[in-house]
Amino acid sequence: MRVISSPRKMNKILLEEKMAGKSIGLVPTLGYLHKGHIALIKRARKINDIVAVSIFLNPKQFSAKAFRKYPKAPKQDLNICKAEGVDYVFMPNAGSMYPESFDSSVEVPQLIGKLNGNSIRWHYRAVLTVVAKLFNIIQPNRAYFGKKDPHQLALIKRMVLDLNFPIKIISVPTKRAKDGLALSSRNSLLTPEEREAALVIPKVIKAAEIKVKGGSTDRKAITKTMTKMIDGVSSVKLDFVAVVDADSLDADRFGDDTLIYVSVFVGGKKLTDNRVVNSSRQSRNK
């Protein structure tokens, strides 16, 4: 396994691999790898000749405070990558990704404003921009993302389509702890009491899922119930909940799949989870 920090060097090496006819699978991460990331790496390892993992805590997609607090464990991350048979770890520093003259960004103006996106447009713009940079540097044939952030996933798919990136986006179901809490690097920041309180998230999703599967199309009533359940746990602060069409992210459109989405703050840490329920009444993203 090779660890590369220079974007130019990474690009050169992987272009050579591609010229030699090798397929490349990319798993982009912010570091502090957990079982969810391992599931992505394992999927990539199955069919690509080369697996590259990027570990870059992108400062532009966080507030200064959230960036400082984000957990980091580079040595442990490298051990995990090695154990999973990763070929290249791309670990750039912020200076090499964003030199002083850096002035570009990727925008998907309509879709970015869906769900609660308008309040954090800057966040998704920063995610799209760094993902576009990683795609250009690593030139993957396939890129792997978790289904845990369906808004991010929809935006990346739209960007790939609109900007003709020759890359297949593969989404992998969210990994959950036995008690139902979705795995996230941020879970490590929770106190035992906060972690217990966070279990309201899978409960809220389950309650909404039962209603959607039961044929309810009154999305306002469903989100009201969800909000009430969250408000009932004093240490959990509602960010937003949504029940929308999974493709367009529109609340008033009824396609094949319905997305149930929950975003809350527990002790100031943002936690999200979601489930996609299809019209044949089978839940995906289990």
Site residues (vs ligand PAF, CB under 6 A): 28-30, 58, 61, 127, 130-131, 149, 152
Q: What does the block give as tokens for 121?
A: 């447009």
184/34 Cα distance (integer angstroms): 7
Q: Which of 271, 54, 218 has its CA nearest to residue 144?
A: 54
Q: Give me the helices (H) in 173-272, please.
A: 192-198, 200-213, 219-231
List Cβ neighbours of 117 (8 Å cut-off, separation of 6 or more): 111, 124, 151
Cβ-closest position to ligand PAF: 28
Q: What does the block give as tokens for 163?
A: 């900007």
Q: Which of 34, 37, 123, 151 is catalytic?
A: 37
128/43 Cα distance (integer angstroms): 22
Identify which of residues 152 and 187 has a Cβ nearer to ligand PAF in the complex: 152
Indicate the SS3 state at residue 212: helix
Q: How far is the CB of 37 from ligand PAF (least distance, A)?
A: 8
Identify which of residues 203 and 270 has a Cβ nearer to ligand PAF in the complex: 270
Q: Where are the beta strands (DSSP E) in the chain?
A: 2-4, 24-29, 50-55, 88-90, 142-146, 168-172, 236-245, 257-266, 269-278, 283-284
Identify which of residues 30 and 201 has a Cβ nearer to ligand PAF in the complex: 30
Q: How far is the CB of 269 from ligand PAF (least distance, A)?
A: 15
Tracing tokens 């990683």 back to the chain, one arrives at 134
Identify which of residues 28 and 202 has a Cβ nearer to ligand PAF in the complex: 28
| Element holding 78 (H helix, E strand) | helix 74-83
Q: How far is the CB of 169 from ligand PAF (least distance, A)?
A: 11
Using CA atoms of 61, 163, 25, 188 in order, give the dihedral in degrees to the nearest 10: 20
37 tagged catalytic:
yes
Interstrand relation of 142-146 and 24-29 (parallel, antiparallel or unpaired) = parallel
Identify which of residues 35 and 206 has a Cβ nearer to ligand PAF in the complex: 35
Q: How far is the CB of 219 from ligand PAF (least distance, A)?
A: 26
Q: How far is the CB of 146 from ligand PAF (least distance, A)?
A: 7
Residues acting as catalytic residues: 37
